[in-house]
Amino acid sequence: MHTKAKVKTKVGRPAARLGLGARELLLNAATELFAESGAGATTFAMIAKRAGLTPAMLHYYFKDRDELFDAVVEERLLPLIRNVWGPVHAGEDAAQIVEGVVGRLLEGVEKAPWLPSTWMREILNEGGALRERILERLPYEKLRILGNAIARGQKDGLLNPAIVPLLAVPSTIGLAMLHMATANTWAAILHQAPLSREAMRKHITGLLLDGLCHKGRASAKTISREKK
């Protein structure tokens, strides 16, 4: 176990941040930079500079990049993933699961605004430096519950038979992450205020649930015939 090292900081470093401890400062800096530049492109020097500490201090806590990557995954990413999927239980219907997952994901992003960008860069991207670490640790027993709930709903004639249960999780997470990662960009392009969390939740769940539930669903051919 590491002993506590004396923290040296640059002049002007806020004292309140030092209350986090050097290791926490370094992990926070690494997590922010991974979202901005990608884990593979982020150097120890960049992390130390962002934290206001020395590269030697970073090497004191993390002997190499692999150890740092493991710490970011275990202490920053996985707690958020567990919070999103932990409450999911067998027996819930698919709509309940989707609404809960999206709601908890949005709540998590308010506390960790770096998450969507990190997810897009490091997990969706096949070359992401954190990809394999995350894929090895995902709570697959929880993820399967959503696919099983969709298959059950389809069998009962309640859900859209065109939905592929296997793709339910990547569709749910992917749609949510894409919207959150690009929301501010589109708001700026369209000269509009950024969406609130509640507005984002309604938008994402609306898209997902309207596609999931085929009640009242009209095909393009049906709409075309009605126009004629």
pLDDT at 223: 32
Q: Which residues of 143-178 are buried (b: 16+ CB within 10 A; e: fewer)?
A: bbbbbebbbbbbeeebbeeebebeebbebbbebbbe
Supply the DSSP string of 48-71, one letter for each residue. Answer: HHHHTS-HHHHHHH-SSHHHHHHH
N-term to C-term CA, the chain: 75
Query: Global pTM?
Result: 0.81
Asked, colleague to colleague, whether 13-63 and 64-215 share their fold, the answer is no
pLDDT of residue 190: 85
The CATH-assigned architecture of domain 13-63 is Orthogonal Bundle (1.10)
Q: What is the mean pLDDT of each run of 10 residues along the chain (228 residues)?
A: 43 44 96 96 97 95 97 98 96 94 96 95 92 96 96 93 94 93 86 88 92 58 39
pLDDT at residue 82, rounded to an integer: 96
- Asked whether 141 and 57 are in contact (CB, 8 A), the reply is no
Cβ pair 183, 115 in contact under 8 A: no
What's the CATH architecture for 64-215? Orthogonal Bundle (1.10)
Residue range 179-228, pLDDT digits in tens? 999 888 888 888 888 888 899 999 999 999 988 886 544 443 433 344 44
Domain range annotation of the chain = 13-63, 64-215
